[in-house]
Amino acid sequence: MQDGSGLSRRALFGAGLGRIADAGLARDGEAGGRGRTPPAPPPPQPFDGWGEGDSDGLGARLDPVAAALLEASGVTPGARVLVACAGDGGLARAAARAGARVTAVDASADRVERGRALCDREGLDVTWAQAPLTAMPVDGATYDAVVSLFGASYAEDPRAASAELVRVVRPGGAIAFTAWMGFMGALLHAAGGPARRSQRWARFETAYLHFFDFPDLDVREAALPWTFASVAEAVDELAAAGGAGGAADRVRDALPELVLRFGSETAHGIVVDAGYAIVLARRP
């Protein structure tokens, strides 16, 4: 999968830049190995993403990513689509507006309730279910596309998560999800979130490990430019999306430097390049 908007990691992997021999990758399904900084300890509460589960505020800035994800997975009117780790349904609603028959699953009862309400408000027919990513209450080999807006990349057990995605997609169907890189990876790390779990999915090596028997497999980099009026506005919005508590305090302290490192000043303010990757695997 490659076009003018992204860099194909499969092409780089084929050119000899892969690291499948990495001992950490082979051992636990995530990139590791000697000489690398160990991951930060997990937060005390389950990680809910960074604005991905809330269509207000930062979540609204993810609409272009949702559109790119649906395009990559080939969602067409009438297609059966499962949205995993659906949050409050931003991606599910986008798929339903495109004419797909949508099922949305999330582990949080609050997000499922909010998602249903938002779908009802728009008159969108989306079936909702509350369940963890690794045990979704749906039939196997059913869906034309199984998609996730960042949520799947946070899975604590990536092997179990990828196995469940494979279980529910039909032969010939697409698995497509996004993973953070660059700016958001650094932000998640500052929060003590699963930054390295998400970032590792942006490597073709990780995707290959989990979907090695899928001949149609690629990871493509993309850019999501976020414009803010000032560094202060960027800090306020991004820190608010992280919730309250110690993690938010750490993020607010780290954000000014991160915004300046990954951002560029323009006549309209500052543009932060929130890079991400789309993992696309089509089941044989």
156, 194 in Cβ contact below 8 A?
yes
- Better pLDDT: 34 or 280: 280
Residue 69: both structure tokens together: 């994800």
Domains contained in the chain, CATH given: 7-182+191-224+277-282 (3.40.50.150)
Cβ neighbours of 171 (radius 10 Å): 8
Round the average pLDDT of the chain to a whole number and report it. Answer: 83
How many residues are present in the chain? 284
Mean pLDDT for 271-277 is 95
> Is the model's pTM score more than 0.85?
no
> What was the pLDDT predicted at 8?
62
CA–CA distance, 279 with 161 (Å, rounded to integer): 14
- Better pLDDT: 252 or 23: 252
Residue range 136-157, pLDDT digits in tens: 999 999 999 999 999 999 999 9
> What was the pLDDT predicted at 13?
52
Mean pLDDT for 175-184 is 94
| pLDDT at 131 exceeding the cut of 80 | yes
92, 116 in Cβ contact below 8 A?
no
